[in-house]
Amino acid sequence: MTEEQIYNIFDDGGLLCGKLDTFEFREGQLCMALDVLKSYETNGIAAIEAGTGIGKSFAYLVPALYYAFDDEEDRTVIATSTINLQRQLMDKDLPALFKVLGKECKVALAVGRNNYLCLRRLAELVRDNELYAYDGVSEISKLNSFAAETETGLRTEYKGKLDFQTWTSACSDGDMCMGNKCPYFSECFYFKAKKRLAEASVIICNHHLLFVDSASRLENELDYSADAVLPPFRHLVVDEAHNMERHATDLFTETYSSYSLRRQMDYIYDNRGLRGNGTGRILDDLLPLCSDKSIYQDILDFYALVLAKAETLNMATLNLLDVNNQAHLLCTKQNMGFLEGEIGEVAKDVVDNGGRLVAKLNSFASKLSVDESRSFKVEELQVHINRISDVLSRLGEFLKWREWEEDIHFLDIEKHAGVRYVTFNIAPLDVSGVLADALFKKLDSVVCTSATLDLHDDFAYWSRGVGLPIEGRPFLHKVYDSPFDYKNRLMLLTPFDTPTFSREKEQEYADFTCETVSDAVSSSGGGALVLFTSFKLMEYVYERLKPRFLAQGLATLKQGDADRYALLEQFKEDTDSVLFATDSFWEGVDAPGNTLRLVIITKLPFRMPDDPIYRARYSKLEEDGKSGFYCLSLPDATMRLKQGYGRLMRHTTDKGIVLILDSRIVSKSYGAMMLRSLPESYHPETETRTLGQKIESFLF
């Protein structure tokens, strides 16, 4: 592809202008497409901040498509952070470009393997549970009917609820796959999808699958000319790239919990009956084939002992956190005294007795006499034995606290079916090295883009977290501002008299937030997204204001009351609704038009100081003589603020208000730095008593 072709497509009066009625020429989009092309041509790396409305997806798709048109094997992988963007690319952007450009190439969506139904495992599930499989109302029966109707076998296509254990007993699993020896190989949903990926010139996936693929290549010393989780590819585009460091950290974090241990053990022997489905009884199925049946009782004894010890450990660590009123605990060599007492002894018992259980299970497996038709069942048993061993090894590594080096060790709490479980976690302190080695040093070209990458620091904060620049590789970084008329269509309100949060005046602060949010939303007539940094405060304000808003005819929604997609659809359909949300809703909310005319940011999004990964990285910077606040806390909060701010303007005709109820944005010196990172908007000086008047005057 040439620069001339880019101009012919994107320039004013070009191909897109002529064939897409809704297309508007944007210089930033044209320049970004040229930058993407340059990274392809020079084997370079590009970091591009493209403001809302630039049209960044077209800017990177066109070069990717033209390289595919010229050579079908010159494959590009596009990794996104959200399902919504994947749907937009597959269902809207790519079909539109094929129509405009007058030619096509094969594209495919890549999802994780366990999203596919395995026909062999389903057949075994049906055979082992005939009583449930043919009663018409059981989950196994419904899943069997789904298998006969679906073309893709994807979990997302299954309508209705499906128990997690039932799905994981029937989904595709790489460790249990028989490959071309499987009697269902020609019908296999996963391998059909794998074939489509191998034939595609453009592949869309999420960040997690990209990092799973890159980690696999790094571990197995494979370059990108080899087949791994994804087929070979040369070019990579990472959209929503501001999330790269966080998602890579999540992938490389190893976790133990009594829940994860029990889940693996229940595949082998489940004395709870798995909600009546009868799945997971591998041990009982294979017992008649074992030459030494006496080992069965030993296994059951160790099974019960390990579960009891794991439950004791869970209760003891929950008590440790509850007594200290902690939801998390960053563990260092200086505060690990609790592992020298009862908790440490019980944890060691879990590892030791778990090891004995694994040994007994391996002995049981070695004494099985099975024909070829049942060999897969033994392989399945061995897979779960190995996974039990892996879970136990994570706890064992955690217990070696005197040998800890730079990794982050912490306790956390997760909930399953309303039950709290303590997790023991080991996370990387720094993922920049592994990202550099696994991605940036090996691929021909990498383009990273987002609406929030630069903080007026020459991309320094984001680049440092992901391992850029790479010595010897061209590194292009550009910012293209949004074409939207922020100065006239967006009003930023930052009242200087809002109270500062403090533990001593927590109730006073919560009551102020209630009243101010109430006045602001009433003035806008709804159409509001209210963003919190605290789930507790969100719940309090929601419960207080819901009756008031309902009395005004304003539908009131809250994160957690429905799944994210359903909640956003409901919010978009009702133009006067109010949505209360935290964390994940600071980004990825796309509600153009009058349905969103007021974004309220109740507090600047600084990380909670007890967040273990944040604290560990903050402390490391301080130890190295740097400012944890200016090198981590402030840029992280600023990037999140930019994401929250960006929820409002989605189209050129949008108009609305961002209200920040945190006076630090105008009273602290760093507030000015945060404001500079935001698009320049109409920003009148204001105080809380005049908010309603300003909101009404601007909107109506």
625-642 pLDDT per residue, tens = 999 999 999 999 999 999
527 and 674 belong to one structural domain: yes
Q: Is residue 2 part of a domain?
A: no
pLDDT attached to residue 277: 45
150 and 206 belong to one structural domain: no
Q: Is residue 16 part of a domain?
A: no
465 and 496 belong to one structural domain: no
164 and 266 belong to one structural domain: no
Which pair of tokens denotes residue 76?
């590009």
Which pair of tokens denotes residue 595?
């349905």
Name the 3-class secondary structure at 261: helix
Cis peptide before 499 (omega within 30 of 0): no
pLDDT attached to residue 562: 85
Q: Give the integer Cα–Cα distance in Å for 113 and 111.
A: 6
The answer to whether the CB of 205 falls within 8 A of the CB of 81 is no
Q: Which residue(s) pair with 503 in the sheet?
A: none
170 and 213 belong to one structural domain: no
Give residue 99's domain range: 27-106+200-246+430-480
Residue ending a domain, choose from 154, 171, 192: 192
Averaged pLDDT of the chain: 92
Q: Give the integer Cα–Cα distance in Å for 361 and 386.
A: 10
Q: Give the integer Cα–Cα distance in Å for 554 and 577.
A: 5
**Identity of the highest mean pLDDT range in 160-169, 560-569, 682-691:** 682-691
600 and 498 belong to one structural domain: yes
Q: Is residue 1 part of a domain?
A: no
Q: Give the integer Cα–Cα distance in Å for 105 and 95.
A: 11
Q: Is residue 3 part of a domain?
A: no
519 and 612 belong to one structural domain: yes
pLDDT above 80 for 57: yes
Structural domain total, the chain: 4
Q: Where are the alpha helices (DSSP H) in 220-257?
A: 244-251
Q: Is residue 14 part of a domain?
A: no
Residue ending a domain, choose from 175, 192, 209: 192
Q: 660: part of which helix (H) or strand (E)?
A: strand 656-660
Q: Is residue 306 part of a domain?
A: yes
CA 83 to mean position of chain CA atoms? 10
pLDDT-derived band at 279 (thresholds 50, 70, 90) equals very low
User: How much is the pTM?
Assistant: 0.91
Q: Give the integer Cα–Cα distance in Å for 47 and 60.
A: 12
448 and 348 belong to one structural domain: no
Structure-derived torsion over alpha carbons of residues 375, 381, 385, 391, reported in degrees to the nearest 10? 130
490 and 616 belong to one structural domain: yes
Q: Give the integer Cα–Cα distance in Å for 593 and 439.
A: 38
pLDDT-derived band at 161 (thresholds 50, 70, 90) equals confident
Q: Are strands 419-427 and 408-416 parallel, antiparallel or unpaired?
A: antiparallel
Name the 3-class secondary structure at 445: strand
pLDDT attached to residue 271: 53
Q: How far is CA 492 from CA 482, 514, 685, 695, in A?
A: 16, 20, 9, 10
Name the 3-class secondary structure at 367: coil
Q: Which CATH number do you get for residue 443?
A: 3.40.50.300
Rg (CA), the chain: 27
95 and 219 belong to one structural domain: yes
Exposure pattern of 529-542 as b/e (b: 16+ CB <10 Å)? bbbbbbeebbbbbb
592 and 683 belong to one structural domain: yes
In tens, the pLDDT along 639-653 reads: 999 999 988 888 888
Q: Is residue 10 part of a domain?
A: no
Q: Is residue 123 part of a domain?
A: yes
pLDDT-derived band at 373 (thresholds 50, 70, 90) equals low
pLDDT attached to residue 259: 95
Amino acid (1-letter code) at residue 483: P
| % residues pLDDT > 70 (the chain) | 98
In tens, the pLDDT along 561-618 reads: 888 888 999 999 999 999 999 988 888 788 878 899 999 999 999 998 889 999 999 9
User: What percent of the residues of the chain are helix, what percent strand, and what percent coil, each to the nearest 5?
Assistant: 55, 15, 30
422 and 317 belong to one structural domain: yes
